[in-house]
Amino acid sequence: MAIAIALLLVGLVGGFLAGFLGIGGGIVYIAILPIFLKQAGIPNSELVQFIIANSIFGTMIAAISGNIVHLKYNRFYKKEVALVGLAGTISALATLYFVVHTSWYSQELFNLVIVLLLIVILYKTLKNSSRKFRFVREVSFDRGKLSLSGISGGFIAASSGLGGGAIIVPLLNLGLKMNIKKAKSISLGVIFITSVVITIYNTMINAPQTIEVTNYGYIIPSIVLPMSLGALISTPFGVVISRKSPAFLIAYIFSAFIALVIFKKSLELYQFLD
């Protein structure tokens, strides 16, 4: 019961951030899930794959809740979501097959990818987080840049479990000069599309037979269900509060959570190398 309550709290935090920041909640899940997965008896050799699979499931549930709110307020950008989502799906499936579910993709490499990626995102976000970079104007529909955002997001989602929003939001906001609130809305729609496909893929793969806890492929219901319930509850509140918050404040909070994950993953890398 205590573990279920703890997972519910993790879902509440991740879901709120998913709605508020448009990043799907994965930035919380990848930091916390290793604790619960190790308690469930998942071996280190398979830990990365389980972290990614269950984090993506959590982001999928949060994205459902968040997108319903965006639809309610008529802030769901169907054309952009469809294009970026298609590119992201193709990229995510290729990454799962050729990178994640291979023998050489280790926990250390996983942490290194996360740290390097988030350092770049943190630098770009802080550099452009002042009021003069709020980008309130509408931008043209650029298929090439939107597709590139989807490809990048799909790769990040599948290789890190972050959901893809951690790269889609900065690319749309900084690369296309798109208002960050519109970028977050598009990101949440794309996260739902890519996370559904990734989750289906992860349930179809046979996990190691030595795992005793009930599982469907790489998905562990006893972990993802309490977490997902929390996300369902809190994501709408994150979306509503985000709509009332200034863009620069969202950028600063986004940066703070990125910095926390960088610190945690860097510490894990240091402990491995020490």
E strand map for the chain: none
- For position 133, what pLDDT does the model report? 46
CA distance 172 to 181: 10
Distance, in Å, from the CA atom of 134 to the CA atom of 144, rounded to the nearest integer, reads: 23
Q: So where are the chain's domains?
A: 2-273
Q: Considering only CA atoms, which of 46, 58, 96 is closest in space to residue 198?
A: 96
Summarize the confidence of residues 92-104 as an average pLDDT: 86
Confidence category of residue 200, pLDDT binned at 50, 70, 90:
very high
Choose the weakest-confidence range: 50-54, 217-221, 225-229, 253-257.
253-257
Radius of gyration of the chain (CA): 17
The model's confidence at residue 82, banded by pLDDT at 50, 70 and 90, is very high
Split at pLDDT 50, 70, 90, the class of 83 is very high
Measure the CA–CA gap between 273 and 107, rounded to whole angstroms. Answer: 12
Q: What is the DSSP letter of 207?
A: P
User: Is the alpha carbon torsion for 195, 224, 116, 249 positive or negative?
Assistant: positive
SS3 content of the chain, % helix, strand, coil (to 5): 80, 0, 20
